[in-house]
Amino acid sequence: MKKFLFFSLFPFFIFGCATPYKPNGMGGGYDDWKLGEGLYRVAFHGNGHSTKQQVNDYWHRRSSELCNGDYEVLEVHKTVNVMGISGELSSSLSVNQEAEIPIQIGKIQCL
């Protein structure tokens, strides 16, 4: 039974943990709000497997998409949320871990 559980969850651990580049939802992603003509607030939310650098790169990628590659960063804020993860998969297998969730939010002006 333990082998079955391990092998049935293995694909989730391998493929379900990467930081997605997509609109924000399960597992992180980007949000953007149009504030005015060519003016946007952009956010990228990582997940427990994201690095701060990866979140920064994805934030700039989304900014570049919104402004066709030409934008000025007016402000940027970087933060990390700490999320506790705990649970019991069986009587002999439990999880108790903290995950750091990097987030980057800022305002850009398209040029």
pLDDT digits (tens, 9 = 90+) for 40-94: 999 999 998 999 999 999 999 999 999 999 999 999 999 998 877 677 766 676 6
Per-residue pLDDT, 13: 45
Q: Identify whether 10 is part of a domain.
A: no
Q: Which two tokens stand for residue 37?
A: 């003509």
Q: What is the DSSP string of 49-62?
A: T--HHHHHHHHHHH
Q: Identify whether 58 is part of a domain.
A: yes
Distances (CA, A) of 95 to 9, 29, 61, 98, 104: 14, 25, 34, 10, 28
Q: Where are the alpha helices (DSSP H) in 1-111?
A: 2-15, 52-66
Q: Identify whether 64 is part of a domain.
A: yes
Instruction: Report which secondary-structure segment, H or E, holds 86.
Output: strand 71-90
Block residue for tokens 């990866």:
54
Per-residue pLDDT, 76: 98
Q: Identify whether 93 is part of a domain.
A: yes
**Range of the structural domain that residue 40 is part of:** 29-110
Q: Identify whether 62 is part of a domain.
A: yes
Q: Identify whether 67 is part of a domain.
A: yes
Q: Identify whether 23 is part of a domain.
A: no
pLDDT digits (tens, 9 = 90+) for 32-49: 999 999 999 999 999 989
Number of domains forming the structure of the chain = 1
